[in-house]
Amino acid sequence: MHMSGQAHPVHVVGAGPGGLATAAALQRRGIRTVVLEKSPSVGASWRSHYDRLRLHTTRRWSALPGLPIPRSYGRWVARDDLVRYLEAYADHHRIELAAGVEVDRIDRDGGGDGDGGGANGDGDGATWTLHANGGRKLSAAAVVVATGYNHTARLPEWPGRQSFTGELLHASRYRNATPYAGQDVLVVGVGNTGAEIAVDLVEGGAARVRLAVRTPPHIVRRSTLGWPAQANGVLCRRLPTGMVDAMAARMARLALPDLEPYGLPRPEAGLYTRAREGAIPVQDVGLIKAIRKRRVEVVAAVESFDAGKVTLADGASLTPDVVIAATGYTRGLTPLVGHLGVLDATGRPLAHGARTHPDAPGLFFTGYTNPLSGMLRELSRDADRIARAIARRAT
Whether the Cβ atoms of residue 266 and residue 260 lie closer than 8 Å to each other = yes
Indicate if the pLDDT at residue 2 is higher than 50.
no
What is the reported pLDDT for 31?
Answer: 95
Q: What local confidence, expressed as pLDDT, does residue 116 receive?
A: 37
The pLDDT value given to residue 127: 87
| Among 302-306, 365-369, 390-394, the least confident range | 390-394
Q: What CA–CA distance (Å, rounded) separates 158 from 164?
A: 10
Domain ranges of the chain: 10-151+331-393, 155-328
**Range from 33-37, 111-115, 158-162, 235-239 carrying the lowest mean pLDDT:** 111-115
The top-level CATH class assigned to 10-151+331-393 is alpha beta
Burial 111-145 (b: 16+ CB within 10 A, else e): ebeeeeebbbeebbbbbbebebeeeeebebbbbbb
First to last CA, the chain: 15
Nearest to 31 by CA among 391, 364, 381: 391
| pLDDT the model gives residue 279 | 79
Q: What is the dihedral of CA 283, 288, 290, 293, to 10 degrees?
A: -170
Q: In the predicted model, is pLDDT for residue 121 greater than 60?
A: no
pLDDT at 239: 76
What secondary structure does DSSP assign to 174-194, as a single string?
---SGGGTT-EEEEE--SHHH
Q: Which residue has the higher pLDDT, 123 or 238?
A: 238
pLDDT at 123: 38
pLDDT by residue (tens digit) across 345-390? Answer: 989 999 999 999 999 999 999 999 877 778 899 999 999 999 999 9
The architecture (CATH level 2) of 155-328 comes to 3-Layer(bba) Sandwich (3.50)
Within 13 Å and on the Cβ side, how many CA atoms surround 378? 20
Q: Are the C-beta atoms of residues 146 and 290 closer than 8 Å to each other?
A: no
Query: What is the structure's pLDDT at 335?
Result: 94
- Enumerate residues 6+ apart whose C-beta is below 8 A from 84: none
Average model confidence (pLDDT) across the chain: 89
What is the rounded distance in angstroms from the CA atom of residue 376 to the CA atom of residue 147? 14
Task: Pick the range with the lowest mean pLDDT from 52-61, 123-132, 284-293, 375-384.
Answer: 123-132
Per-residue model confidence (pLDDT) at position 253: 84
- Identical fold for domains 10-151+331-393 and 155-328, yes or no, is yes
pLDDT of residue 235: 66
pLDDT the model gives residue 231: 64
At 328-355, the pLDDT tens digits run 988 899 999 999 999 999 899 999 999 9
Residues 6+ apart with CB under 8 A from 229: 56, 220, 221, 222, 223, 281, 283
How much is the pLDDT for 226?
Answer: 66
- Whether 179 and 164 have beta carbons less than 8 Å apart is answered as no
pLDDT confidence of residue 234: 64
Contact residues for 230 (Cβ-Cβ < 8 A; gap 6+):
56, 57, 58, 61, 372, 373, 374, 377
Please give the radius of gyration of the chain, using alpha carbons only, rounded to the nearest integer: 22
Average pLDDT over residues 282-286: 90
| Phi, psi (deg, nearest 5) at residue 186 | -110, 120
Residue 77's Cβ-count burial label (10 Å; 0-12, 13-18, 19+) is buried
Q: Are residues 219 and 282 in contact, defined by beta-carbon separation less than 8 angstroms?
A: yes
pLDDT band of residue 252 (cuts 50, 70, 90) is confident
Asked whether 99 and 37 are in contact (CB, 8 A), the reply is yes
